Amino acid sequence: MDTIKSFNGYGKVDPQEELAFKRKTRKRLIILGISLIVFVVLIIGAVVGTLVHNKNKNDSNAVPSSQTSSAAAIKGVCSVTQYQESCFTSLSSMDSSNSTDPEKIFHISLKVVMDSLEKLSTFPEEWMNRTKDTRVKEALKVCKIVLDEAVDYLNDSISTMNVNNGEKLISVPKIEDLKTWLSTIITDQETCLDALNDANASLVEDVKLLMKNSTEYASNSLAIVSKLLGMLGDFGFPIHRKLLGAVDSGLPAWVPAGDRRLLQEAMPQPNLTVAKDGGDVKTIKEAVARIPKKSKTRFVIYVKAGEYVENVILDKSLWNVMIYGDGKTSTIISGNLNFVDGTPTFSTATFAAAGKGFIARDIGFKNTAEAIKHQAVALRSGSDMSVFYRCSFDGFQDTLYAHSNRQFYRDCDITGTIDFIFGNSAVVLQNCNIMPRQPLPNQFVTITAQGKKDPNQNSGISIQRCSMSPLDNLTAPTYLGRPWKDFSTTVIMETEIGGFLRPQGWISWVSNVDPPSSIFYAEYRNTGPGSSVADRVKWAGFKPTLTPAEASKYSVQSLIDGASWLPDANVVFEST
């Protein structure tokens, strides 16, 4: 294992060790470069092989060379996907221009996804009228919300392919955006199925059949951007010959330039003040009703000290909202919606943020439904590039639902019992206090439950430089987490772990059944009495230790592309 003390750039590092690390990094880049060349040759080989095969056919049966070239190019691009047959068939039927440009083929793939998603998005309302089961109706409402969001993120993906003069079409920030949004589109569809499964709906299999095309097509597009366009972009290959030039700034259009100052300032000037004894409004819901839709500028809400008992939703149309209070124990938003009383897990959130660029600071989110009520979310975030700074999340089961997209949590307190940090976002938690609490009798405690469904999703939970200690007299068996889906990804690193943890560290979703080898669970340089990996689980997908290079993939810089949206003065963070 490399001997460098931590990631390059963090802490004091011996000069000789840093030099050795740089040499190894350079060597890895050379190997990666060679791998890329081999990969491109394979793609070209697929194209050439098809051309030669067609050339040798009887001339009377030959197809025009442009169609042959296009079919070969599509076949080559589709070779990187999980669903190659559906990829080739769907793209061939849509490609009227007989394109051989991988970038244009990818663009066509997005249109294929859009056609299937638009058809799919109509079913929740239609099926709500067919059932009298209130739980199923509520689950179908969740399906409508997430499928509408999926269509929006697909529109964003298509829009980002349209460039101005002088812009690079393929650049690292754009690739990261596309990977994130396509990952979310897959997550949204899975969330619909989860809601229906939880409601024991008999129509689950019918919905799976309805989703077959949209999930496969979205997976295909994600594979293309991750494995082909992403590699070409990383190495600067100009696959679109007409548009070369300025490097993208990395900041999406919805991120206001003034955000560097918002988190640095002690008290940003609010657009609205919420106070029980005065202010502009007396409830947070009233303030939310006044937020302009799809704003490119930051809208700031200040919530004075007090406990506000209300369920607040910032939907996908509310961009660039910042909400701050007088402290995570002074300003509290509280609710008690829960699964046992008939609300789907997704909808139990006391506070939910879906619009892009959400920031919360110095405020607490609480779900007061106790453990007996099962799933009861305090906060749900599907906001891309969302920041939670000096906040608290207080609950029991499913406290913090980091649903999707890129998220960052710093200096936060999180309490709970079962799966109390869960979801399928790309999320980094730094310098947070994670406090498991006593569950119901005969229950165990799991801190995390990560929900990565597709191998190319860029999601995962990274807990870095945090502290894990019990909130109360914790006697129940306690684990770092359990894999929720086939490709679940969770890394705990440089974190202090108390002695409350069971030595095996992790537990399977299904009792006594090892999770699939496709998961990625790992620990890296943790400290404290619970950090020993000597008796950890022996799963094929668990790594008891990582090299610094492997661990760096789960840093702010790599996992959530933080350098492009967490500028130096914006919020305290370590990028590595």
Whether residue 553 is contained in a domain is answered as yes
pTM for this model (two decimals): 0.86
Residue corresponding to tokens 């406990």: 307
> CA-to-CA distance for 392 and 289, rounded, in angstroms?
24
Say what the pLDDT of residue 5 is: 32
Query: In this predicted structure, what is the pLDDT of residue 169?
Result: 62
pLDDT value at residue 23: 57
Q: What is the pLDDT of residue 44?
A: 47
Is 542 a member of any domain? yes
What residues contact 53, with CB distance under 8 A and at least 6 apart?
A: none
Question: Of 234, 261, 295, which residue constitutes the final position of a domain?
Answer: 234
Contact partners, residue 103, CB within 8 Å, separation at least 6: 161, 169, 170, 229, 239, 240
**Model pLDDT, residue 61:** 52
Structure tokens belonging to residue 355: 């619009």
Q: What is the mean pLDDT of the chain?
A: 86
- Structure confidence at residue 456 (pLDDT): 98
Predicted local distance difference test score (pLDDT) of residue 278: 84
Q: With bands split at pLDDT 50, 70 and 90, how would you rate the model's confidence at 266?
A: low
Specify the pLDDT at position 161.
Answer: 84
Whether 376 shows a pLDDT value over 60: the answer reads yes
Backbone angles phi, psi at 99, to 5 degrees: -75, 145
- Give percent of the chain above pLDDT 70: 79
Of the candidates 335, 431, 313, 439, the one whose C-alpha atom is nearest the C-alpha of residue 382 is 313
226-240 pLDDT tens trace: 988 766 545 544 444
> In the predicted model, what is the mean pLDDT of residues 426-452?
98
pLDDT at 570: 60
Euclidean distance between CA atoms 357 and 318, whole angstroms: 9
Give the dihedral sign, CA 22/24/30/34.
negative
Instruction: State the pLDDT confidence band at 571, using cuts at 50, 70 and 90.
Output: confident
Work out the average pLDDT over 552-559: 96
| Residue 419: active-site member | yes
Task: Choose between 133 and 238: higher pLDDT.
Answer: 133
* Mean of pLDDT values over 520-524: 99
pLDDT score at 49 = 44
Q: Predicted confidence band at 406 (pLDDT cuts at 50, 70, 90)?
A: very high
Q: Look up the domain containing 512 and give its range.
A: 417-571
Q: How does residue 497 score in pLDDT terms, banded at 50, 70 and 90?
A: very high
CATH number at residue 153: 1.20.140.40
pLDDT (average), residues 233-249: 38
Please report the pLDDT score of residue 94 as a whole number.
Answer: 84
Highest mean pLDDT among 84-98, 227-241, 455-469: 455-469
Query: Residue 362 domain-assigned?
Result: no
25-34, 530-539, 548-557: the lowest-pLDDT one: 25-34
Residue type, 138: E
Q: What pLDDT does residue 13 have? A: 38
537 is a domain residue: yes
Is the confidence at residue 27, as pLDDT, over 50? yes
pLDDT tens, residue by residue, 155-184:
999 998 876 665 656 677 889 999 999 999
Give residue 202's pLDDT band: very low, low, confident or very high (50, 70, 90). Answer: confident
Domain assignment present for 462: yes
User: According to the model, what pLDDT value does residue 241 have?
Assistant: 35
Residues 6+ apart with CB under 8 A from 105: 73, 74, 77, 91, 95, 99, 224
Average pLDDT over residues 93-111: 84
Q: Which of 234, 268, 299 is the last residue of a domain?
A: 234
Q: Is residue 228 part of a domain?
A: yes
Q: Sort strands 460-464 and 489-493 into parallel, antiparallel or unpaired.
A: parallel
| Distance, CA of 478 to CA of 480 (rounded, Å) | 7
Q: Which bin fits 342, alpha (ψ -120 to 50), beta or left (φ > 0)?
A: left
pLDDT tens across 323-343, in order? 999 999 999 999 999 999 999
Q: Which of 95, 194, 419, 561 is catalytic?
A: 419
- Tell me how far apart the alpha carbons of residues 489 and 259 are, in angstroms, rounded to a whole number: 30
> Does 50 have pLDDT greater than 50?
no
CB 566 within 8 A of CB 359: no
- Phi, then psi, of 413 in degrees rounded to 5: -110, 130
Long-range contacts from 416-421, C-beta under 8 angstroms, 24+ separation:
416/447, 417/371, 417/443, 417/445, 418/443, 418/444, 418/445, 418/446, 419/446, 419/448, 419/449, 419/481, 419/482, 419/484, 420/395, 420/396, 420/446, 420/447, 421/447, 421/448, 421/449, 421/461, 421/463, 421/481
pLDDT band at 310 (very low <50, low <70, confident <90, very high): very high
Higher pLDDT, 572 or 519: 519
The closest alpha carbon to 151, from 193, 106, 109, 115, belongs to 115
Q: Pick the last residue of a domain from 170, 204, 234.
A: 234
Count the domains in the chain.
2
Contact present, 243 and 168 (Cβ < 8 Å): yes
Q: What is the CATH number for 508?
A: 2.160.20.10
Range with lowest mean pLDDT among 55-64, 138-147, 298-307, 516-525: 55-64
pLDDT on residue 103:
86
Bigger pLDDT: 15 vs 540:
540
pLDDT at 164: 66
Bridge partners of 493? 464, 524
Q: At residue 2, does pLDDT exceed 60?
A: no
Cα 8 to Cα 525, 551, 559: the distances in Å are 15, 11, 16
